[in-house]
Structure 1
Amino acid sequence: MTPSQKLARARHCFQAWLNTQPREDSPETISIRPDESKTPWSESVFICDGFYRGRRFRTDSVSAIWFTEEDELKIHDADGACVATLSAAEMQAQFAAVQSQTDSTQTEPLRRAA
């Protein structure tokens, strides 16, 4: 798996984790745009001691760091306490499950430029 594929997997897993969290500021009965993510988040490069360590994802209430060497995603609450840790195997299993669902629903073959 290439580094960009690993990063895409980490982004997906963070977004999936966010989607499973309850949202306090909106009622669950109203769903105007169910396709959109519940919480907007930002991404930045994570550098520690002058070395590239991975990526940081942030919302107003949580943050997560994807560590490239360990290939691990750690999610922290607003107080800095670790609330979830996803290993490479856990992220891959979650990502593969979503990929198999999208691959099976595709009915038309992909078209490629010549």
Structure 2
Amino acid sequence: MKTAEIKLTIQLDDNNVPENIMWESTDAQNKEKLPVKSMMLALWDASYKNTLRIDLWTKDMPVDEMKRFFYETLQTMGDSFLRATGETNIVEDLRDYCAHFAEKMELVK
């Protein structure tokens, strides 16, 4: 059995606000830490039947990029949900909402 590890390194300021977020993976071709401005991690706890989440972003994350990050995350959640469940109807509804979100956030013209 193969094992892979993903490591997150968060540098915090004196108020515990993220200044830098870096990630690395043992499976990546590039073995150095790669910087990112925002992350969302969701884990399913089967024992308690609930979701554990970590949402972090650096204090210099631009608002327009945060809007795009949320939009793309919603889109890819739809992709994952479709692959996991085959529920095409609800994914189409989510796609409709994503289009609405993009319009309201002025991500598309």
- Give TM-score, length-normalised by structure 2: 0.36
Q: Which has the higher helix share?
A: 2
With normalisation by structure 1, the TM-score equals 0.35
